[in-house]
Amino acid sequence: MVDKGGGTCLALLKEDIRMKLLSGTYKVLLIFLFVFALFDCPPASAARIKDISSLKGVRTNQLIGYGLVVGLNSTGDGSGTKFTTQSLVNMMERLGIHSVSGSVKVANVAAVMVTADLPPFAKEGSKLDVLISSIGDAKSLQGGTLLMTSLKGADNNIYAIAQGPLIVGGYASSGTSGTGTSKNHPTVARIPNGASIEKEVAFNFNELEDLTIDLNEPDFTTAQRLSQAINQGLKADIASPVDAGTIKVTIPESYRNNMVDLVASLEQINIEPDNEAKIILSERTGTVVMGANVRISAVAIAHGNLSVQIKEKSDVSQPAALSTGQTVVTPDSDVAVQEDNKQLLIVEPEGASLGAVVKALNAIGVSPRDLITVFQAIKASGALQAELEII
């Protein structure tokens, strides 16, 4: 029993040592994986090529059409909307029903414009969401149904047909006295999957000789970085910048007739886009947005508010007893002027970063709306190395 127990203890000791060694091995492995992940991860400000650019030729096309919405509960166009009446009469004539314009009531009908976006590579039979907007004096499109409407492109060709019940994100109701209530925009509606594609846009993607990448925000530095990242990622000299917003990519022989794999590889490449030093100011809302590259040279700033408060009151001048004077009311103004005691603050060193700028401006108690005036003054002094854009 003793030998057996001693053997059991020894086995447990050996197992404990083995687990500790394994634990140490796992720790080393975890540290290695962590360091490898740090080197493998893109910079915090990096962005995928997919998110900052687009392929030339791969684009959305806008469609538009004119149609009629029927089935409204007396919330349609009034009798003064002549084009609605004319459209209804023409539609009835095409259906073999003769009618006279003067005898047609359009209270339950509304003339609308139907719009949709035709995505790239859309195929016949696919569905599109459509947006319906009233163009007459209809009060609400709630409960209506869009009749068959042709949607045309810029070339005046029909690419889709829309029809179906409307979904309105609001309502409008009124009483006989004319008063009522409404929510959101009841004269605008949507039909999810309400249009069927009838014609495709001719575009053979696999037969392209080269790719053209267009940057969403043209920049020479970003264009150069993007081309270098593509060449390094695919290990081939196939990309070159044409200008600040265009990069030309020659298709390698290994990717001929296999463009999907090439584009999928390009989209996932990470680069760090270069941003222009810019400050956006909104005078209406007092919003100030500063980019990371904003710099300010050594400058002294003092900002104070001057407030003037005027209180008006009236005094009554009463004449002495048995005198010939009259009671007179005289105005009395109390004017108080108060100016904030702000100290002069020096922003340094030369080329202060965004964090130093914000810290300095907060130190003198500048509000977001006051920042607009402060930045304009710094720009006028020549100490601001950034573009001011007022929206």
Cα-based angle 85, 86, 92 (whole degrees, multiple of 5)? 90
**8 A C-beta contact, residue 154 and residue 215:** no
Could you give the CA distance from residue 77 to residue 110 in angstroms, rounded to a whole number? 5
Report the alpha-carbon distance of residue 226 to residue 46 in Å, rounded.
Answer: 11
Rounded to whole angstroms, how far apart are CA atoms 258 and 155?
Answer: 31
Taking Cα atoms as reference points, which of 130, 120, 124 lies closest to residue 192? 130
Which of the 8 DSSP states describes residue 124?
T
Q: Kindly state the tokens that stand for 344.
A: 């002069």
Task: Dihedral sign for Cα 160, 162, 167, 168, please.
Answer: positive
Q: Token pair of 381, please?
A: 């002094």
Assess contact for 80 and 175: CB atoms under 8 A.
no
Q: Is there a contact between 78 and 236 (Cβ–Cβ < 8 Å)?
A: no
What was the pLDDT predicted at 378? 79
* DSSP state for residue 352 in the 8-state scheme: B
Amino acid 174: pLDDT: 58
Q: What is the pLDDT of residue 297?
A: 75
**Which DSSP category does 318 fall into?**
P
Cα-based distances in Å from 257 to 57, 201, 205, 206, 376:
17, 20, 9, 5, 55
- On whether the CB atoms of residues 120 and 200 are closer than 8 A, the answer is no
Q: What is the pLDDT of residue 34?
A: 42
Q: Which helix (H) or strand (E) holds 8?
A: helix 2-40
10-residue averages of pLDDT along the chain (391 residues): 44 49 45 41 70 88 94 85 86 84 81 94 92 91 93 94 90 58 80 93 81 91 92 89 92 84 89 86 79 76 54 66 70 56 52 63 69 80 82 82
Report which residue type is found at 37: A
Q: Do 347 and 284 contact (CB within 8 A), yes or no?
A: no
pLDDT in tens, 349-375: 555 565 666 666 666 666 777 777 778
What is the value of pTM for the model shown? 0.65
Residues belonging to the chain = 391
